[in-house]
Amino acid sequence: MNVIFCEECGGRNTVTADEMVRCREKPPVCSICGNVMSPETIISYDRDGTDLSTQAVDTSRYHLLVIDDDRFYLDVARTILGKEYRISTASSGEEGLRLALEVRPDLILLDVSMEGMDGYETCRKLKKNPELRHIPVLFISAMSEGENEFRGLEVGAVDYIRKPLQLDVLNARIGLQIRLKQLLDKEKEQQEKLKQSLHQFSLHAEQEQEKLARERNNLQTIVHCMKEMVSIQDTEHRIVWANQAALRTFGLSASEVCGKHCYRLFAGRTEVCAQCPLENNEGADVGKPVKIEREDTQAPPFEQVHVPLYDDDGTYTGVAHIVKEVTAWLV
């Protein structure tokens, strides 16, 4: 039997296969509240990846386990509930635990008063088993409500129904639990897909980082092999990196060079180079070598190229200096 649940009131509605085929043209109407149910809100038991918008709930896919030592109620369950669901029955708590592990039902209907292991103890053992604890348990009992109902909910049951059973009430309670399970299953599936997507994204990000690191290392290797002095300065004109030619020329280590102002180290000056792009010198041709006079008049001038560095927004983040004539430093 195909069953759909109203998104407004949660009501349980039976539909034919033909009605589901035509659900886009003629949406089904809830028999309880009159709400018109759009195909997009119809939830399916989607284990095989079928389209949720065109498939109703096939209740025969759901497996119920009924545990009761009263043969009459077991016969009723097989006869009545068996028309819509797959049914397994057990006449004791011990047998019920064994069958639960074997068939892995979607819902367990459990009698409270049974000889030997009663329903409360059976429920406790179900909830202690990590392979079974996720299965909702619905208690059925001829005992009065109140303390017994509270005790049943306390040991992990999701609902409590009194005997003698009213089949319409029983069907409604079962339908509610099936719908809740269905929603939880769908949520878990979406969470798993999200985890997989995040995992794939993480792997891709790691691969990109590794690629960028290789490219950066390759670029640094190339720049270290250049005979020209190359250094990178931040927006405050402090050196943050220098190649081997620059370190050899000044006879300093990388840690000694970093943090020094470029105009002091290169030109021995107290002022910034007039051609520096960081000084908003829009007229300067940054691709053209410029002659830099050093503070020490006996030291020869040198040629330098300024290469401005930008971030993704086009804002200056620093500048690279390339000194063309290293030999001038040795004179």
The distance between the two most distant Cα atoms of the chain, rounded to a whole number of Å, is: 114
Cα 238 from Cα 319, distance rounded (Å): 10
How do residues 275-287 score in pLDDT, each as one tens digit? 676 665 555 566 6
Domain segments of the chain as ranges = 1-56, 62-187, 222-330
- How is domain 62-187 classified at the architecture level of CATH? 3-Layer(aba) Sandwich (3.40)
**Using only C-alpha atoms, what is the Rg of the chain?**
39
Q: Is 15 exposed, middle or buried (0-12, 13-18, 19+ CB in 10 A)?
A: middle
Cα 27 from Cα 20, distance rounded (Å): 8
Average pLDDT, the chain: 81
How do residues 48-96 score in pLDDT, each as one tens digit? 444 433 345 677 888 999 999 989 889 988 988 888 899 999 999 999 9
Work out the average pLDDT over 11-21: 76
Give me the CATH topology for the region 222-330.
Beta-Lactamase (3.30.450)
Q: Which helix or strand (DSSP H or E) is residue 215 part of?
A: helix 167-224
Domain 1-56 has CATH 2.30.30: yes
How do residues 175-190 score in pLDDT, each as one tens digit? 888 878 777 788 888 8
